[in-house]
Amino acid sequence: MSTHVHTEAKSRHPLLRFASRWLMTTNHKEIGTLYLWLSFLLFFIAGALAMGIRAELAQPGIQLVEPDFYNQLVTMHGLVMVFGAVMPAFVGLANWMIPMMIGAPDMALPRLNNFSFWILPFAFTLLLSSLFMEGGAPNFGWTFYAPLSTTYGPPSTDFFIVGVHMMGISSILGAINIIVTIFNLRAPGMTLMKMPLFVWTWLITAFLLIMVMPVLAGAVTMMLTDRHFGTSFFDASGGGDPVMFQHIFWFFGHPEVYIMILPGFGIASQIIPTFARKKLFGYHSMVYATVSIAMLSFVVWGHHMFTTGMPLATELFFMYATMLIAVPTGVKVFNWVATMWRGSMTFETPMLFAIGFVMMFTIGGFSGLMLALVPADFQYHDTFFVVAHFHYVLYPGAIFGTMAAVYYWLPKWTGHMYDERLGKIHFWAATIGVNLTFFPMHFSGLAGMPRRIVDYSLQFADFNLLSSIGAMLLGLTQILFLYIVIKTIRGGKKATTQVWEGAEGLEWTVPSPAPRHTFETPPVIDHDQAH
Amino acid sequence: MSKTDNRLRRHTGLLLVLAVGMFGFAYALVPLYETFCELTGLNGKTAGQTVYSAPQSPAEDRQVRIQFLAHVSRGMPWEFRPTEGQLLVQPGILYTTEFYVRNRAGQAITGQAVPSVTPGQAALYLNKVECFCFTQQLLQAGEEMLMAVTFFVDPGLPEEINTLSLSYTVFRVEPLQAPEVVKSL
Amino acid sequence: MFVGLLFVYSSNVFPVEFDLREGVTDVSRQIQSLHQMSLAVCVIVGIGVFGAMFYSMFAHRRSRHPVPATFHESTKVELIWTLIPTLILIVMAVPATTTLIEIEDNSDSDLTVLITGSQWKWHYQYVEANIGYYSNMSTPQEQIDNLAPKDINYLLETDKPLVLPTNKKVRFLTTSNDVIHSWWVPDFAVKQDAIPGFINEAWTRLEVTGVFRGQCSELCGKNHAFMPIVVEVIAEEEFDAWIADQRLAMSLASETAVADRNQEWAKSELLQIGEEVFVSQCATCHQTNGMGQPGKYPELVGSPITTGPIEDHLNRVMNGKAKTEMQAWAPQLTDLEIAAVITYERNTWGNDSGDLIQPMAVYLSR
């Protein structure tokens, strides 16, 4: 299919050829590249919004942005990071790597793949354009609680709803494609329990996506009809209930959190064995732990809502279920440590990012456990302690995870080694940045600073200044990352087929750079090759 | 058509059905949530009309305090307040209290009162035999009236609950949406 | 801006606090110890895990440990590190559960306060005494705009605090008039969402007198950061006297109100009072120049309301507008203030209806 498009394009003008190559491509590697570049762009946009937030919060008083615009920054930062930076980055990695890791020639549904990518630029143009509309962008937080987002939402809320629908369709179609590929296109001998963990975690993530993105779509559709068509799902005056919005939203929202972390688990499980030169410890328990985390994620949503006036029994249920998640998560961390144990480690940039991921994610896990205790949650809820918690989970989990993956596979994609010295500088600067930005937020939260406020009282000033300095540093380091990636694409030391001495798996049997088409005839899986 | 193609189609179809099903599930959550609330009193919504039957065993000398609260929603030019702030009631006995309401506007306005009980669990034991909240109220310009609610507290009310609050918020009913409001209550 | 920069460092007057506060109630102390216990567990587990990682990174790096081991599975080990965390979690769940049961026991209260949130202020109603009032942030705009030095209680001060007695079980009922707010006083460890159309409850029992401060902790729109909570706790013996004082103040205020509304006011007087009311209450959204914000807050210059029939104008100010941030001012402002602000709006920024409304007319529409 893809060859067809390719040959046809050859006869036209070079610009046309370029456009039609990227617009109409059905090649999994090219679509993967498109996803990765789009997510990179949106990562910078969402990051710039975060810089705006931190600049305003650097000192007490209002210096730069109006309160309402501040709320727009907070909302768009969250939405674009979640739906624009993290999710497309993971889908991009899945597109590039899953067919190569399971010995498939391409994704199972290549044209659908093209379609699900090209929805996204339109969805985000729509969403971001609301920043320039009269009345401003959505200003109700990425959680868009009713009635702030329904009855009191700005006119651009309708653009937001359409945007969310488009992203949802894109994610669902992408997820379907991934599941169908994994179920049908594995090379002979690649049984499910031989699949690399990155493929496993993505398979589970894809099921989560198919099960919760439609629920999000349902929630925004109810918002739309509440706003314009006289229903009152979330409006008490018509017999509805705003708290029900939160139940529906978090039924989506909690699995969504795992959607943003599970592929990161998979990436760490690929990288740590490679650089420890030792097989992953407890492959089977890693798979089972991931499955249990995914299943538990459907029964813990209430822990986001402890202050909404739940009955005691419900609070206890959600508290116990949430605490239970610590068990499989702990198993994963212990297994990574056991993989490192008595290995023979070297610390190239992907390994550094993977270790950084494990350590900082564990800190985020600890604060998550503390938040699960309902009485303590009454003090932590909706403070900067929560902001610190989820940034410690998501920055290392999703962003460090993606960066580790990019450094790990970039030689395979481009055929060049990246600049190791710059990569290490990037890692250390980013690690200092993350900790300087988010660690003080624990303290400002414990001291009583609510989240999503544009201005704060004086006792929070010192911690906020630290956070802001850290954020600026963190923002700058990502420009270095962009430079490193471009430099690698343009040249550098030739990468070997194997790339990493300790690497195992099918993707390391194809040449570097990986040719446009790989595994057109299925590879033979020998006994030890998988995971 | 090869065997793999068939399998691809089947899997794609099944997953699409799952996605559409989950979209439907989001809507199914609405009645599920309401049922759950009715069973546990989660959000303090009260049930509809009940029929009073004198308790089998006369209630012990237990007394429960019930507080009455009234709210007027935004854009509603009505005065609305309870005539008595609180009442000591004996479970199982029928009581009536009244709320005062007056339309301050120069035109007729229809209103609908929506009740909420706290603690939520108590909503299951507060039975209303007659209530102005069951119907919409039409008040002419400047008209005032007393609206009654007749209720009893179920003797099964858990021991640890000895104060409960019954709050009404009165909303303006737009003529257009009137039928839905009645239906969903 | 420069003044603001200088004043950042006034923050040094606060001792730097790294931990969750102990608070002043039994429940807040229990929560703090729960917090410290769970933090300790995390630190100990963290030292173990990170210690093992660092040791491994040091001892098992290639230069020291060139030949990797080959083990990669052990059901026994997996079982151990599934069971031990489970046991630790059970141990943590016990105190959490007992504390929670105590927090959720709302019975036997002595005093009920109905807390109603609205954008962006709190209203407190003493249910038994039937006294209520609004509590607005009192930090001046100049301090927020860095034009004046910031007070020590910057953003955490109100015109009228909630007053509570010691040694009484106080039951809080929370609800809202518009969006969801959340009433939080960290020292009491009380945080309860205020949800429109529904009522939630929480309680506290205070042991010491003093002033305690908190903030709204659920995003509620533009001025979410400017919705502080101040609670003044007074000795229980003084509380009845305070309630009596409030009654007296209310009747005095109503006497003033009666006098005010029986008086005929000159337009210049109304304009002056009206400007004060407008700047303090209305300008947040409609802006001092009456231009509003396009797409969000309507312009008052030449608008149908400010230039149309005065009855509609009065109705809008008194009752607010459904499903918008325009609230009902009838319960918040006096007859005189409403009359003044309407007169002001109809005769400023080029609106020149020449209309004038007397407080009596406002009173009659109540």
Is the CB of A326 less than 8 angstroms away from the CB of C89? yes
Q: What amino acid positions of A are annotated as catalytic residues?
A: 77, 106, 142, 170-171, 254, 256, 258, 269, 303-304, 329, 332, 451
Q: Considering only CB atoms, which chain B residues are within 8 Å of A251?
A: 29
pLDDT of A252-310, one tens digit each? 999 999 999 999 999 999 999 999 999 999 999 999 999 999 999 999 999 999 999 88
* Residue C331: closest CA among B83, B84, B73, B144: B73
Provide the shortest C-alpha distance from residue A254 to chain B (in Å): 15
- Rounded CA separation A221/A53 (Å): 30
- In our burial notation (b when 16+ CB lie closer than 10 A, e otherwise), range B71-100 reads bbbbbbbbbbbbeeebbebbbbeeeebebe
Is the CB of B171 less than 8 angstroms away from the CB of A210? no
Stronger pLDDT, A199 or A4, i.e. the higher one? A199
- Rounded CA separation B168/B128 (Å): 13
> What pLDDT sits at residue B134?
80
Provide the shortest C-alpha distance from residue A389 to chain B (in Å): 28
As a three-state string, the secondary structure of C253-264 is HHHHHHHHHHCC
Residue A5 clears pLDDT 60, i.e. is over it: no
Segment A72-81 shows an average pLDDT of 96
- Rounded CA separation B47/B120 (Å): 12
C46 burial via Cβ count (<10 Å: 0-12, 13-18, 19+): middle
Is the CB of B8 less than 8 angstroms away from the CB of A180? yes
As a three-state string, the secondary structure of A216-231 is HHHHHHHHHHHHHCCC
Q: Considering only CB atoms, which chain A residues are within 8 Å of C1?
A: 63
Q: Considering only CB atoms, which chain B residues are within 8 Å of A222?
A: 26-27, 30
Please tell me if residue B182 touches chain A, with a CB cutoff of 8 Å: no
Nearest to C108 among B67, B117, B162 (CB): B162
- Rounded CA separation A351/A347 (Å): 5
pTM of the model: 0.91
- Rounded CA separation A282/A197 (Å): 11
User: What does the mean pLDDT of chain C come to?
Assistant: 89
Residues of B near C (CB-CB distance < 8 A)?
43-44, 67, 69, 71-77, 79, 85-86, 104-106, 114, 116-119, 160-163, 165, 167, 169, 172
Between A149-163, B140-154, C12-26, C224-238, the lowest mean confidence (pLDDT) is in C12-26
Write phi, then psi, for A10 (nearest 5 degrees): -60, -30
Q: Which two tokens stand for residue C1?
A: 């801006």
> What pLDDT sits at residue C65?
92
Provide the shortest C-alpha distance from residue C197 to chain A (in Å): 5
Query: Do C216 and C183 meet the contact criterion of CB atoms below 8 Å apart?
Result: yes
- Rounded CA separation C276/A511 (Å): 76
Query: Do A340 and A272 meet the contact criterion of CB atoms below 8 Å apart?
Result: yes
Q: Which two tokens stand for residue C63?
A: 């230069």
Please tell me if residue A203 touches chain B, with a CB cutoff of 8 Å: no
Is the CB of C92 less than 8 angstroms away from the CB of A323? yes
The string of DSSP codes covering B52-96 is: ----SSPP-S--EEEEEEEEE-TT--EEEEESSSEEEE-TTS-EE
Q: Which two tokens stand for residue C27?
A: 């429940």
User: What does the mean pLDDT of chain A come to?
Assistant: 93
Is the CB of C328 less than 8 angstroms away from the CB of B119? no
Provide the shortest C-alpha distance from residue B30 to chain C (in Å): 17
Which chains border A (3 or more CB–CB pairs < 8 Å)? B, C
Q: How confident is the model at residue C2 (pLDDT cuts 50, 70, 90)?
A: very low
Stronger pLDDT, B63 or A186, i.e. the higher one? A186
pLDDT of C81-135, one tens digit each? 999 999 999 999 999 999 999 998 888 889 999 999 999 999 999 998 889 999 9
Nearest to A238 among B8, B24, B181 (CB): B181
> What pLDDT sits at residue A10?
53
How many beta-carbon pairs under 8 angstroms link A with C? 314
Q: In chain A, how long is the greatest CA-to-CA distance?
A: 71
> Which residue stretches of A396-419 are H helix?
401-414
Contacts of A528 (CB under 8 A, 6+ apart): none
